[in-house]
Amino acid sequence: MKPLVKPPSLKPGDTVATVSLSGGYAGDSAITWRYMQGKEQLENLFGLKVVEMPHTLSNPEYVYNHPEARAQDMMEAFADPEIKGIFTVVGGNDTIRLLPFIDYSVIRNNPKAFIGYSDTTVNHFMCYKAGISSFYGPSILSDLAENLGVPEYTAKWIKKALFASSPIGEIKQSPTWTSEHLSWVIENKNTARTFSPNNGHETLQGGGIAKGRLIGGCIEVFDWLRGTELFPPIEDFDGAIMFFETSEEMLPPSNFEYILRALGVMGVLERLNGMVFSKPCNNRHYDEYKAKISKVLAEYGRSSMPVLCNLSFGHCEPKFIIPYGAIGEIDCERKAFAILEG
């Protein structure tokens, strides 16, 4: 994989934009309060000025029916020199519909921090195609609007990844985790979710230390990219470390296996230096997923490739941030993961 252009770091006082590129939940009158809570916490905690793009708060039906408007918001946010970063509001399931309306030159010529996860995997590969590093991490409604404040762990890695230029370094697992979903109703505004103790990273297979540039996302969404202009050239997986997580739909283990096997057939798995997987949403299918990973990698002669599981990113909170194209490191003996670039 060739190095990606790194966007400038954010700093307090910068203007950042919020975009609804998938679900239009922020424009739902029953949920807008939560968006505003996330916006306020983003401003207060990081000293940013947050603005909406023209369709960020449009009603959900309009957002769904007008992918071209969503794409327009993304293009305008990248093109505006006053906007230094772009935060996605939430995920969903149809961001792929923006594809015909994207001008990659706009992204390429205006590198800036772009952050989100889940269905936003599609947008990350738009940035990737444009040659820009983006950040797989928190969204407004799911993370930054957390009742009673943004978790300390999430805030720490936002500051480290987006506001600093020094190497991110070793990323230890969050001491606690949750996938509990409290309804986004204002009656829950002062109700905290229940967090459980975490149980450490797990080396599934392999030994020693593996390094490589980071590429991946939500595994279901990544699979949707096959056959489109967004799927990377096969040689881009040479020496890479692939990161994957699963969504709140809690992908059945058989489907998880089929997606991994497809990557094996395509020649992706044989090119990797290693893989890292998040804790699954609700910790569902954790052991089953591990069995499928081992099975498929064995099918393609990769039983000794380093694989680290149970990391704190994806559809469990709190979470850290992964910059696409940065050099990651798996230490199998220490069960440790690090990002060696800023």
pLDDT at 126: 98
DSSP 110: S
- Express each pLDDT in 256-302 by its tens digit: 999 999 999 999 999 999 999 999 999 999 999 999 999 999 999 99
- Indicate the pairing of strand 327-331 with strand 322-323: unpaired
Query: pTM of the predicted model, to two decimals?
Result: 0.97
Domains delineated in the chain = 15-166 (3.40.50.10740), 176-339 (3.50.30.60)
The rounded distance, in Å, linking the Cα atoms of 210 and 276 is 11
- Express each pLDDT in 55-79 by its tens digit: 999 999 999 999 999 999 999 999 9
Phi then psi dihedrals of residue 336, to 5 deg: -125, 150
Scanning the structure block, which residue is given the tokens 């889940």?
118
pLDDT at 64: 98
pLDDT at 2: 80
- In angstroms, the Cα distances linking 202 to 108, 174, 196, 310 are 37, 14, 18, 6
- The arrangement of strands across the sheet holding 113-116 comes to 49-52, 15-19, 83-88, 113-116, 135-136, 322-323
The ranges of the chain with pLDDT < 70 are none
pLDDT at 330: 98
Residue pair 317/203 in contact (Cβ under 8 Å)? The answer is no
